[in-house]
Amino acid sequence: MSARRALLKLSGESVGDGSSSISESSLLRAASEIKSAVVCSKVQLAVVIGAGNIWRGAGKFIERVTADKMGMLATVINSLALNGALTKMGVKSSVFSAEGVSDFVEDFKKEKVIDSIEQGNIVIFAGGTGKPFCTTDTAAALRAVEIKADMLLKATQVDGVYSADPKKNKDAMKFTSLTFKEALDRRLEIMDAEVFSLCMRANISINVFDFYRDGNLGKVLNGEEIGTIVEV
């Protein structure tokens, strides 16, 4: 199933590696995959990127709200890095944040965001939802609803959704498609329950796929059956 407008959820690790929070090779690969996919598909694309490469949340010495705010700021750093890499490749992109960091990126305003997407920019959303206790997965679903995306793409390191961890269980079964109800009933750890709720109500399908296999993002955007589709 192809889309006219999609939102790509990347993990922070997609731009980092084990030795560096932001790795030049990882960052450039992510940007290159996005550029190639958009050029070959003509799909309007927005991106939400996590911050796990920089900050993974509260420790015993930092309370949750402060830790979540730190994570939101870390997504701004990753978003600026991705924006910079895309710009260097000649790709038009813009960054909007839910948090008030207007000296660095623009504040999120729905009308301005839609206008930017329709002008052919890849829009990158930073700052999560702007509220603590919400993951970047939830932020991705919220932004997908707000921009009226057809599909939410969950970029992972595995080739879809399995009945169990395929790295630990050789008998794990891969699903090519699931309904939201099936995913919830099976308690599959795909995304937060809030994500399913938002996407179900807006009729936005979720595609879970291996972002680390070259060319997969373009195949997904062109409607090829890559990974696992979760839909109503």
pLDDT at 51: 95
Q: How many domains does the chain have?
A: 1
Q: Which regions of the chain are under pLDDT 50? A: none
Q: What is the maximal distance between C-alpha atoms in the chain?
A: 51
pLDDT at 229: 96
Tell me 14's DSSP state.
Answer: G
C-beta separation of 98 from 126 below 8 A:
yes
pLDDT recorded at residue 61: 85
Q: What pLDDT does residue 19 have? A: 84
pLDDT of residue 158: 92
Q: Which CA distances in Å does 209 have to 88, 111, 156, 225?
A: 27, 30, 6, 10
* CATH value at residue 196: 3.40.1160.10
> Can you give the residue range of the structural domain that contains 79?
5-231
Residue 90 CB partners (closer than 8 Å, separation 6+)? none
Residue linked to tokens 């829009």 = 123
Q: Nearest CA to 52 among 153, 160, 137, 158?
A: 137
- Alpha helix segments (H runs only) across 4-125: 24-41, 64-88, 110-118
pLDDT of the residue at 18: 80
Query: Angle at the Cα of 97 (from 94 to 103), degrees rounded to 5?
Result: 80
Strands of the sheet with 205-210, listed across from one edge: 106-107, 93-97, 122-126, 44-49, 5-10, 151-156, 205-210, 228-231, 177-179
Q: Which residues lie closer than 8 Å to 39 by C-beta, 6 or more apart?
A: none
The pLDDT, as a whole number, for residue 75 is: 95
